[in-house]
Structure formats: C-alpha cells, structure tokens
Amino acid sequence: MKEATLRDVAELAGVSPRTVSNVVNGYARVTELTRQKVERAIAELGYRPNVLARHLATGRSGQILVVVPYLDTPYFAELLQAVIPVARQAGYNVLIDQSDGDREHEGQFIGHASQRSLFDGMIYSPLGLSQEDLSRRDPALPLVVLGERTSEASFDHVGIDDVAASTEAVQHLIGLGRRRIAAIGDQPYPTGEAAQRRTAGFRAAHAVAGLPIDESLIIGTPRFNRVDGAQAMEALLQKDNPPDAVFCYSDLVASGAIHTALSKGFRVPEDIAVIGYDDIEDGRYSLPTISTIAPDKQAIARLAVERLVIRINSKEPVPGVDLRAGHRLVARQSTIG
C-alpha cells in the first residue's frame, strides 16, 4: 500500500500543503476548524510526517523529553499514555525519564545547554525543585511545567485548578452530612505547592460551610502513595474521636487509607467516607470503588505538547502562560455506597 504524502493530506482536507505543514509543525496561525480538518485527514490516511528529513533540515533532534517523578505511579503512567500520541501526531518522538523527586537530579535536566542536542524541548513535572530553582534553568530550553506551580513568565505551566477541585471534593463530603473531615497529604514546604493548594481547598470548603477545622486531622505525607495513606489512616483511627470522612490528596493515598480502615473493622463509606484525587484506573476497579477528582489528562497532554511545539518553533522569546485543563468530581462507592 502506497504511503500517504503531505500532498495527499492536503487534497483530502481541501487545504494547501503549506497549511498541512503548519498544522503538523504546530504553528499557531491555523484556525481551529482548519486544524481539525487536517487532523481528520491525517488520521484517515494514516499519514506520518517525514520527521527525519524535516529535522535534518532544521538541525533539530525531532524528540521531546518528558520527565516525571515516578514511572510506577499510575497517574504519571496514564498521563504519559496521553502525551505520546499527541506528540507523535505533531511529528515528535518522546523520550521519558524518571527524576525520583530528587532535587539534584531534577536540576540536571534543566541546567545543561549541551543536552539540547538530545531533545528539542521538555515537558517537566518536578517534585524536588522550587520555583526559584526553575527560574535558574537554561533560558534557551523550551520548557512546559506540569502540576500546580506558581506561574513564572519565562515558561509555560499546564495543570488544573487544585484549589477549586479540592474545595469541590470536600464540599461533596460535607454535602453527605460529614462533619469531622480529615485531610491526608499536606506538604508544608517550598516544593509542596500542589499539596498546599489542596490543603487550601480543604480549608476553603470548611469556611464556606461554616465548619471548624480540627488541625490535628490534617496529616502530612512525604509522598502521595499507598503506604503513606495507610499509615496516616492508622494514626487517625487511634484518635478518641476519629474522622467520619477523609479527603486524600491522591487515589493511591485513598487506596492505602481505605485498606487500613477496612482492616480495622471500619466500614467505608458508612463509618468513614473517603475521596481521592487523580482518577486512576485502579480506583475504578477497587472494592469499594474510589470517589475522586478526575483531571482531564487528555487536555493536559494536548495543551502541554501544543505549547512546547510553539516554543520550539518560535524564533523570539515567548511569554509564559498559565493554562488550566478541566476537572470533574466522580462520586463512587467510597463516599456514596
């Protein structure tokens, strides 16, 4: 079967070859309707851009680097699955690395201009780096930062509104009649911005409802994983007056918390309602299934790749933008039975 060409795509979409090239290369001056027509034609014909020829001509690698803290964390694995096809459609291969949340290791990714020969730009979800660290990066590196971060003018940030999403999660628990609500996942240090915003949402929901907060029910964790959730719930259940609901800062934290509650003879959600964050696949098939905040991972991936391609292709400095993807609350068995 003859391989589809750029001209074939142009004819099917009813546009010029130059327009197809603009869409493939991620140039901004293409209307949304035109972009959709071209993308449909690309999908129908199975067109693959001649990446090698294009990048030989431009002196680029044709690769982008995506760095996440942990590859074994389901949220990041699912996000990578969303990023790869979007990048491929834009004509880029994806390199993947794991930082382990280590500050020194994370700093190496953004500090060496010599690495530019390996990749054209980077999508980055750092855990160990502060805002100040990020501001000292190689300014020539096209960079898009994922996760909740304070905006900085020289790079783009893509995430969801963590404060609003967390407020909705706790309001869901309050709406179910829960009044003694705990939070698991606080990280009150410079690199814990995502956790701090979720704590801010926790507080905001209580303020709106006029409910007092027992500060001893806000439990910090070093990571958002199962063992942290399990240990935090253990501490909560040892209290004379344990909580009747828990807002967990990830679904993995919620999974560990639920395991501990059930093993101690507590019923979920009858005795303790639990809501998580991230909407990972495991939470949809656990027993009970986990109520959660579901970020729009597809939108996060699309926005991140689009902004990175714009930065790669720009000959002039591009001001940083703060882009918000959507989210929704998904109520399941861990809160509504």
Do residues 302 and 86 lie in contact, with contact meaning Cβ atoms separated by under 8 Å? yes
Q: Do the domains 63-159+298-326 and 162-295 sit in the same CATH topology, yes or no? A: yes
Note the CATH architecture for domain 162-295.
3-Layer(aba) Sandwich (3.40)
Give the CA angle between residues 240, 243, 248 to the nearest 5°: 135
- The C-alpha atoms of residue 248 and residue 254 are separated, in whole angstroms, by 5
Q: Which of 334, 332, 304 is nearest to 122 (CA)?
A: 304
Domain assignments of the chain as residue spans, ordered by start: 1-49, 63-159+298-326, 162-295
The pLDDT value recorded for residue 135 is 74
How many alpha carbons lie under 13 Å from residue 4 in its C-beta half-sphere?
17
**10-residue mean pLDDT series, the chain (337 residues):** 80 87 70 85 80 57 90 94 93 90 79 66 85 75 81 78 97 98 92 90 98 97 95 97 97 98 98 98 96 97 95 83 94 95
To which CATH superfamily is domain 1-49 assigned?
A: lambda repressor-like DNA-binding domains (1.10.260.40)
The pLDDT value recorded for residue 126 is 87
To which CATH superfamily is domain 63-159+298-326 assigned?
A: Response regulator (3.40.50.2300)
DSSP designation for 4: P
The pLDDT value recorded for residue 32 is 79
Do residues 158 and 327 lie in contact, with contact meaning Cβ atoms separated by under 8 Å? no
